[in-house]
């Protein structure tokens, strides 16, 4: 697939692409283009995820299960689905409601893609104890901009910055272990516990490279 050009103004977002291997736009591309035209949706009561599922069905994707596609949760969690599955199907929350991804989707060739929904009344992603998956396509809804955008997982955290953050948690765990041992030696019932929680205030819809990030996603699904 040729390089995707994205034009964005206040009224619309239009994606242009050169000829795909099927001679026309893929269903997944059409689906993501419509996602980009949506206004903000809160995920209260799962509304954002429900909207994404409706749009998948609208664009011809059929709902399936991991059993029917002969997949396992562990392989999906590790983003290690290497084999192709039935074309143009989607599996909702294949690893459970609290686990990545929200949707597993296959294109016309049966290639598998991971979709994860994130919604914020501001313009940032709340990762909590999770972290972006490199192979994931994140559909982010921003209340601040009343808009939605798409970002590939490996575009979120610069490698050097992420490395420093992971180093900080490694050192915290070493200190935790040291003081757990000291308290245990005293016969104490107390024990410090450090939980990895990631705070990220980077803008998403307001990101200066928003269009470039969108183009990366379209190139990724077209590859």
Contact 151, 212 (CB under 8 A): no
State the pLDDT confidence band at 171, using cuts at 50, 70 and 90. very high
Chain centroid offset of residue 102 CA: 8
Q: What percent of the chain has pLDDT over 70?
A: 88
Q: Is the pLDDT of residue 30 over 70?
A: yes
Contact 119, 41 (CB under 8 A): yes
Largest CA distance in the chain: 72
Confidence at residue 223, expressed as pLDDT on a 0 to 100 scale: 67
Q: What is the pTM of this model?
A: 0.89
Q: Is the pLDDT of residue 188 over 60?
A: yes
Contact 137, 152 (CB under 8 A): yes
Instruction: Tell me the pLDDT tens digit for each residue of 120-170.
Output: 999 999 998 999 999 999 999 999 999 999 999 999 999 999 999 999 999
Instruction: Tell me the pLDDT tens digit for each residue of 100-121.
Output: 999 999 999 999 999 999 999 9
The tokens of 25 are what? Answer: 């736009």
The tokens of 148 are what? Answer: 């939605």
Q: Where are the domains of the chain?
A: 5-156+200-222, 158-197
Instruction: Tell me the pLDDT tens digit for each residue of 55-75.
Output: 999 999 999 999 999 998 988
Confidence at residue 21, expressed as pLDDT on a 0 to 100 scale: 47
Nearest to 172 by CA among 183, 182, 164: 164
């Amino acid at each position: 697939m040729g390089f995707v050009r994205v034009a964005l103004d206040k009224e619309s977002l239009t994606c242009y692409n050169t000829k795909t291997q099927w001679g026309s736009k893929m269903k997944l591309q059409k689906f993501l283009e419509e996602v980009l035209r949506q206004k903000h949706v809160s995920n209260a009561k799962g509304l954002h995820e429900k909207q994404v599922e409706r749009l998948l069905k609208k664009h011809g994707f059929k709902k399936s299960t991991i059993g029917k596609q002969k997949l396992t949760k562990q392989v999906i969690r590790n983003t290690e689905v290497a084999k192709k599955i039935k074309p143009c199907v989607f599996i909702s929350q294949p690893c459970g409601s609290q686990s990545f991804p929200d949707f597993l989707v296959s294109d016309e060739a049966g290639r598998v893609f991971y979709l994860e929904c994130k919604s914020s009344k501001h313009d940032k992603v709340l990762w909590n104890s999770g972290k972006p998956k490199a192979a994931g396509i994140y559909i982010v809804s921003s209340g601040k901009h009343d808009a939605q955008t798409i970002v590939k997982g490996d575009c979120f955290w610069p490698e050097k910055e992420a490395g420093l953050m992971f180093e900080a948690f490694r050192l915290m765990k070493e200190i935790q272990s040291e003081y757990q041992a000291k308290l245990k030696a005293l016969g104490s019932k107390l024990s410090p516990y450090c939980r990895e929680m990631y705070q990220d205030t980077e803008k998403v819809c307001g990101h200066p490279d928003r269009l470039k990030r969108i183009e990366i996603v379209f190139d990724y699904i077209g590859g």
